[in-house]
Amino acid sequence: MSVCAEVDDLAVYLDQLLAVPQQRAISTNAGGLSRFRAAARKTCEMVSLVCGAPELLNLPRDMNGRVDHASLVQMLKQSLNLQDQADILYILFKDKGMDWDTKLHGKGWSVRRLLSELYEKAGSLKHWGLIRMICGMLRKKVEELDAACSDLLIHQKHLTVGLPPEPREKTISAPMPPDKLAKLIDEASENNLTIAILTQEIMVFLGMSIRSQPKIFSEMFRLRIGLILQVMVTELAESLKCSGEEATENLMNMSPSEMKNLLLHILTGKEFGVQKSVRSAGNITSTVDSHARRKSISTNSEVSSKTVDDIKLAASVHSLDIGNIESGRYRLPVIESFQGSLGAMLVRDSRQGQWLRRRRLDGALNRVPVGFYQNVWKILQKCHGLSIEGFVLPSSTTREMTPGELKFAVQVEGVLNRVAQPEYRQLLVEAILVLSVLAEVDVHSLGAVVQVENIVHLASDMFHRDQKDLGADESFLEKDHVTGICRLLYDSAPSGRFGSMTYLSKAVARYLDDFLPAGACSLQ
């Protein structure tokens, strides 16, 4: 057999494995060279497949290698574990649909009916992860969802659901009927059951919080729930030293009160550390796991040692390894955590990561300094517009709206929200603050359209150069592959010799050098 034919056979065989494992003779086709190229493009999949091949046999198969759903129903009937039952029903839901009749106990036992029954069992045992998983499949609406949305809108807070950027992220600026609101959340979540159900919960918690503690939401005009969820997962992943998938599972398993506490810690900007321990969950019933891994979160104000809350996270352990089956086909969707943590870098002191976290939180919450929108209005009076990542806020806006007008804040946020990375968004906000200082002094013009992102990149380059001159290692000065910003700048305090505002001021002075009075600014 020729080399091309051997490669062709390999490619065909891999294609068959990547689809469904089938025990049949491998046929050869013409075009061995093209098949070789196709196989070469799948190198990563091949390596992953070799590692995960044993798990492909976990599900029962028919003669054609497809999932045997009748056998799955029998497994469901024999299983005493709630998590296993939910996993099997999830597979049937994905493959057969909600109304497929399983005939588990006779005619009429649809997937929907079995899920509803399992929902009642999980509710009586307060198995929050299962409750949320089933709620997502049944498309249940969280109680008071529309009322919470209305409360937030009454307090002049716009909402976005879904993960950025637009058009995936959708804005809610007016009350809407419950069914329409739930449908919008589902669309923005792109059929991600995890994001959809957690979005509803977070919206209700935000509504409760703004009624009881409205001051927390000061200087927050738009609440981006998708980013808030990402921050919650990121905080858990970094604190628990686990993957985003494990952090999502931990978040899903939180009780409502625990999740509300975590959300409040994030809204208030409090620091929290994590302690891990293994505790016996007790043999409550034969259908519940006999052991659960629990992790408690102790929240400290400004990295103090005083424990404020103890949030217990339970991650269930079950026998049916659905997570590794079918290359993730039946895996419950995960909420991606933010990248770019400083955790892999050399830890120099306990404050490392503090400012990165603060910027990430403020950016995700769209929190801006007091008087920010009025300052933007003043800047626009002295230039033709502000450009952020190619989107321009024109100076003509000042002739159509007043500085304190809600519509003007909407326009500003509309441009800033084009930025997906919250910490990068906050550096852009800081750059605008520096520009506002110039707008208040005797400077006639700031030029045409001011490219705010260019100022931030210029500041990052200056910071990177100075750190390198001081002998900093290149690995320590790694740049964000998305924005090109030195990641260490994200974690720099605003003030001080190497502070972010120091470099942003230098960058503004250099960028606007032609428009500043002689001797107005000096670069060191």
Structure tokens at 40: 């070469």
Instruction: Report the pLDDT value the prediction gives residue 406, as an integer from 0 to 100.
Output: 86
Q: What is the tens place of the pLDDT at every residue in 164-187?
A: 777 888 999 899 988 899 999 999
Distance CA 193, CA 224 (A): 18
- Segment among 36-40, 136-140, 245-249, 258-262 with least mean pLDDT: 36-40
Mean pLDDT for the stretch of residues 68-97: 91
DSSP, residue by residue, 76-125? HHH---HHHHHHHHHHHHHHH-TT-B--BTBTT-BHHHHHHHHHHHHHHH
Residue type, 435: L
Q: Which of 252, 310, 304 is nearest to 277 (CA)?
A: 310
User: Cα-Cα-Cα-Cα dihedral of 219, 221, 222, 225, to 10°?
Assistant: 40
Under DSSP, the state recorded for 418 is T
Q: What is the tens place of the pLDDT at every residue in 176-220?
A: 988 899 999 999 988 788 889 999 999 999 999 999 999 999 888
Instruction: Report the pLDDT value the prediction gives residue 118, as an integer from 0 to 100.
Output: 95
Q: Give the confidence band of 274 by pLDDT, cuts at 50, 70, 90.
A: very low
Asked if residue 242 has pLDDT above 60, the reply is yes
Whether cis (ω within 30° of 0) applies to the bond prior to 60 is: no
Question: 31 versus 316: which is more confidently predicted?
Answer: 31
Instruction: Report the pLDDT value the prediction gives residue 321, as an integer from 0 to 100.
Output: 47
Q: Give the confidence band of 439 by pLDDT, cuts at 50, 70, 90.
A: confident
Instruction: Report the pLDDT value the prediction gives residue 339, as an integer from 0 to 100.
Output: 56
Strands 449-451, 385-388: pairing kind? parallel
Domain ranges of the chain: 3-56, 58-269+318-340, 368-515
Mean pLDDT for the stretch of residues 253-274: 82
Instruction: Report the pLDDT value the prediction gives residue 120, as an integer from 0 to 100.
Output: 95
For 176, phi and psi rounded to 5 degrees? Answer: -145, 160
Q: Write a three-state SS string for 51-77.
A: HHHHHHHCCCECCCCCECHHHHHHHHH
Distance CA 437, CA 516 (A): 13
Q: Give the confidence band of 298 by pLDDT, cuts at 50, 70, 90.
A: very low
Distance between first and last Cα of the chain:
71
Instruction: Report the pLDDT value the prediction gives residue 296, as an integer from 0 to 100.
Output: 35
Residue type, 224: R
Whether cis (ω within 30° of 0) applies to the bond prior to 165 is: yes
In this prediction, what percent of the chain has a pLDDT beyond 90?
36
Instruction: Report the pLDDT value the prediction gives residue 278, as an integer from 0 to 100.
Output: 36
Mean pLDDT for the stretch of residues 78-86: 90
Mean pLDDT for the stretch of residues 3-11: 47
Structure tokens at 330: 């039946």
Q: What is the tens place of the pLDDT at every residue in 326-381?
A: 434 455 566 766 654 444 443 444 467 789 988 988 998 888 998 999 999 999 98
Instruction: Report the pLDDT value the prediction gives residue 117, as an integer from 0 to 100.
Output: 95
Mean pLDDT for the chain overall: 76
Distance CA 153, CA 130 (A): 31
Question: In a 3-state reduction of DSSP, which class is residue 158?
Answer: strand
Question: In a 3-state reduction of DSSP, which class is residue 361?
Answer: helix
Instruction: Report the pLDDT value the prediction gives residue 336, as an integer from 0 to 100.
Output: 65
Q: Which of 407, 332, 417 is nearest to 377 (CA)?
A: 407
